[in-house]
Amino acid sequence: RKEVEQDPGPFNVPEGATVAFNCTYSNSASQSFFWYRQDCRKEPKLLMSVYSSGNEDGRFTAQLNRASQYISLLIRDSKLSDSATYLCVVQSQGNLIFGKGTKLSVKP
Amino acid sequence: EADIYQTPRYLVIGTGKKITLECSQTMGHDKMYWYQQDPGMELHLIHYSYGVNSTEKGDLSSESTVSRIRTEHFPLTLESARPSHTSQYLCASSEPGLLYGYTFGSGTRLTVV
């Protein structure tokens, strides 16, 4: 079983849609969790950290379920500029483990 | 404003040449990493370092080597470049506790012809 698993997509959605990304991780001892965004041919950039109580940043909401070892990212009112690959990232044994990413394409 | 710098941004080089990809950070981070990523594909960790004189191989076997003589500098070297080395190479750094994740450089896009 891979340490971090994500649906590869692609997710093709119209502007204004709500889209949810899911991720599961295998190391129950993991303490830090993140969502990164990577634009085509660019470096990954931190989108948001994920906290146990859940956290929100504008149109983005991240949730963590430690019991199920499950992380989610919700994007509301999606914009064309949200088109990118979203990487689920989990801390494991001193390093961060990156998922393969889920590609999102927002269409007019 | 970037606090981690990679040079060159693009490099096209002939087979058999020795190349060094530079990575420097000004954040005083002890942990530094090199990733390899082909277009549209996942990140692969090829090397990492937890501090000066510490280097480890990552999950993906690589013919490259790294050194860490100074905290701020983590160069990657290919002794003899081959077309199979064509890829994007991304450098990253982090503080020890990983509370803020990794900060990535802009990457070096390497093409070996």
pLDDT at B90: 98
Q: Which of B45, B50, B98 sits opposite A32 (nearest CB)?
A: B98
Cα angle value B89/A79/B105 (rounded, 5°): 20
Main-chain phi, psi angles of B13, to 5 degrees = -145, 155
pLDDT at B96: 81
pLDDT in tens, chain B (113 residues): 569 999 999 999 999 999 999 999 999 999 999 999 999 899 999 999 999 999 999 988 889 999 999 999 999 999 999 999 999 999 999 988 877 899 999 999 999 99
pLDDT at A37: 98
Main-chain phi, psi angles of A43, to 5 degrees = -80, 155
**Does the N-terminal peptide bond of residue A10 adopt cis geometry, omega within 30 degrees of 0?**
yes
pLDDT at A10: 94
pLDDT tens-digit series, residues A56-81: 999 999 999 999 999 999 999 999 99
pLDDT at B62: 84
- Other CB atoms within a 10 A radius of the CB of residue B70 amount to 9
DSSP 8-state code for residue A80: G
Q: Which of B33, B99, B105 sits opposite A43 (nearest CB)?
A: B105
- Other CB atoms within a 10 A radius of the CB of residue A86 amount to 25
Q: How far is CA A79 from CA A14, A15, A74, B60, in A?
A: 9, 5, 13, 35
Q: Burial level of A33, CB count in 10 A (0-12/13-18/19+)?
A: buried
CA nearest to B47 within chain A: A95
Determine the Cα–Cα distance for residues B12 and B62; give it in Å rounded to an integer: 19
Q: Would you say B101 and B29 are in contact if contact means Cβ atoms under 8 Å apart?
A: no
pLDDT at A93: 84
The owner of tokens 């992380």 is A71
Instruction: Give the residue-averaged pLDDT of A3-30.
Output: 95
Chains A, B: CB contacts under 8 A, how many? 45
Instruction: Kindly state whether B107 is in contact with chain A, defined as any CB-CB distance less than 8 angstroms.
Output: yes
